Amino acid sequence: MLCCPPIAARVEMRVVFPALLNRFPTLRLAVPAEEVGLGPEAADIYGVKSLPVTWDA
């Protein structure tokens, strides 16, 4: 059986990220990529702990 929330989250990411980059074309990491903290928040969820970004006004 498929669980809908993870599917919905993937669809949202496919829409939100391109829209965000279109709105803020100079959006970029505010720290070196090596400094972005990765790790599991829970046993079945893996991602970034924080993602500092900046952009030109």
> Looking at residue 19, what is its pLDDT?
95
How do residues 21-41 score in pLDDT, each as one tens digit?
999 999 999 999 999 988 776
What Å distances lie between residue 4 and 16, 25, 42, 45, CA to CA?
18, 31, 19, 15
Mean pLDDT estimate for the chain: 86
Q: What is the pLDDT of residue 6?
A: 78
Task: Please state, in angstroms and rounded to a whole number, the distance separating the CA atoms of residues 25 and 28.
Answer: 9
**Hey, where are the domains in the chain?**
4-54
Give the predicted TM-score (pTM) of the model.
0.65
